[in-house]
Amino acid sequence: MDLKNKKIIITGGAGFLGQHLVSKLISRGVPKENIFIPEYPSYDLTKIEDIKKMFSDFKADVVIHLAAKVGGIGLNREKPGELFYDNLMMGVQLIEQARLNNIEKFVAIGTICAYPKFTPVPFKEEELWNGYPEETNAPYGLAKKMLLVQSQAYRDQYGFNSIFLLPVNLYGPGDNFDPKSSHVIPALIKKIKDAKKNNGKLEVWGDGSASREFLYVEDAAEGIILATENYDSSEPINLGAGFEITIKDLVEKLCSIMDFKGEIVWDTSKPNGQPRRCLDVSKAKEFGFCAKTKFDEGLRKVVEWYLER
């Protein structure tokens, strides 16, 4: 699919990943006027009327669905009902209305939280249904996972061309640093900065033993574009960098970058989340995707971006 001649709706296009995706599409020759970003509150994508209005206001060929209500372990524990309902309603209704409006291609962005809690490492796409997700992430992860079921069912019954991508944890400039809803890297960067400022201790959730994989946001945007252009199956596809790092090692790496020499206190009353996360990324290589940004380089970029602001 040549995206230069397509009209594209990007839900969540004003968000962290969305801004990088939009600028990358424009740099690849997609005219700015061919990209439509439905922003809240003009378009509340949990409401069917607003979704119908969106498709009426902009005659699209492609939908890339990035919009999500999402956060770290804290938000997942505080608002599991909202995370389930809002993400399910957005996705299910968007796919149905996209079908009714004869959209050529629908790109659904899933989540690593959809994988079972004890998935063998590295996570292969075939393992997606072999167990229940980690409990704190389950409502969000399962809501997103239903879009894969819908995508496959709609391809079988209607010939609807939708794909489902599973990106690992993202990080990079423009990330969300709100402590109530941020993910681990921005949350740690803010905590380290505050601890340095106050000459205090650095408190971190869990015991540091859990591992995570991180994908630089610009690499994620590139992967989504390559999949949109070149991938046409409803079998899920992992998007990742193909490595893992423990939270303990991540904390030490960030403390070194930010020159924090204070005490690190592990709050073991708080959950670790999923024990390990690392993706098998071999299938994404088939349509040309390979993460390019080295992790240390990406960390330095996001730290610099945050401190400058």
Q: Which residues are catalytic?
A: 140
Collapsing DSSP to helix, strand or coil, 64 comes out as strand
Q: How many CB atoms lie within 10 A of CB 292?
A: 12
Do the bridges between strand 245-246 and strand 214-216 make them parallel or antiparallel, or are there none, so unpaired? Answer: unpaired
CB 6 within 8 A of CB 64: no
The residue length of the chain stands at 309
CB 200 within 8 A of CB 260: no
Residue 32 carries which side chain, given as an amino acid letter?
K
Q: Cα 148–139–39 angle (5° rounding)?
A: 70
Answer whether the bond into residue 122 is a cis peptide, omega within 30°: yes
Angle, nearest 10°, between helix axes 184-197 and 295-308? 50
Helices (H), 182-279: 184-197, 217-230, 247-257
